[in-house]
Amino acid sequence: MISLPTRGDDWRLMGRTARLVLGVPTYALGGLVAAALALTGFVLSQNLALTSDVVAGRVPASVVPQLYPFVGTSYGPLTGSVVVLVSLLVGVDVALVAYHVREHRLSAGGSGGSVVGVLLGTLGAGCAACGSAVLAGLLSLVGAAGVLTLLPLDGLEFALLALAALVLSIHWLADGMRGGEIRGCPVDLKE
């Protein structure tokens, strides 16, 4: 049976597990690097032409920071907040997966839900237009590409779906580590 984070205990377990794992400097650093790479990937994938011009030396690299949320004007406040939140959750998810795989000696195949969460986060959060372009291609196979014009948030729905997938991934990882120990502290919440 698939569990969903519907109770306060579920959210506390997720927060406590993330806090304990990220309290280990190695995993915190890995999570920060993953979050920064995710945010950079989202920003650069939305501006591929400019990115190639910077790499080719036709445009100064000083332009790149202006592409990030809250620094430049590429993102509005809501979209920028969602993109940053998805990036941070990618970092938390990667840190939890790394911890779970390494400390519990699991195979990476056992963390398939987390891989899906990170993949959806990468696809959906980087660019609403990219997510809707992929979906348009899929929908056009069945003659329903015009459905995308009905999206009320102009493609932000994909980033919100990525957010939901990452939250579910973190919940399932925390639930899977229940009863284990992180830094000598049992993760199980018994009240």
Domain boundaries, the chain: 8-181
Closest CA to 173 of 65, 100, 82, 72: 100
- For residues 99 and 150, the model is more confident at 99
CB of 137 within 8 A of CB of 84?
A: no
Rounded Cα–Cα distance for residues 89 and 61 (Å): 27
Q: Return d(Cα 15, Cα 75) in angstroms, integer.
A: 28
Q: Tell me if 111 sits within 8 A of 173, measured CB to CB.
A: yes
Cβ(108)–Cβ(98) below 8 Å: no
Say if CB 187 and CB 177 are below 8 A apart. Answer: yes
- Which of 14-28, 39-53, 105-119, 152-166 has the highest mean predicted lDDT (pLDDT)? 14-28
Asked whether the predicted pLDDT for residue 185 surpasses 60, the reply is no
Place of tokens 């899906």: 116
| The pLDDT value given to residue 49 | 86
Assess whether pLDDT exceeds 70 at residue 180.
Answer: no
Name the DSSP letter for residue 109: G
Cβ–Cβ under 8 Å, residues 154 and 95:
no
Q: Which residue has the tokens 């699991």?
A: 106
pLDDT above 50 (res 131): no
Cα separations (Å) of 44 from 20, 41, 51, 61, 70? 32, 5, 6, 12, 15
- Lowest mean pLDDT segment, chosen from 85-94, 95-104, 126-135, 154-163: 126-135
* Count of alpha carbons within 13 angstroms of residue 83, beta-carbon side: 29
More confident of the two residues 16 and 48: 16
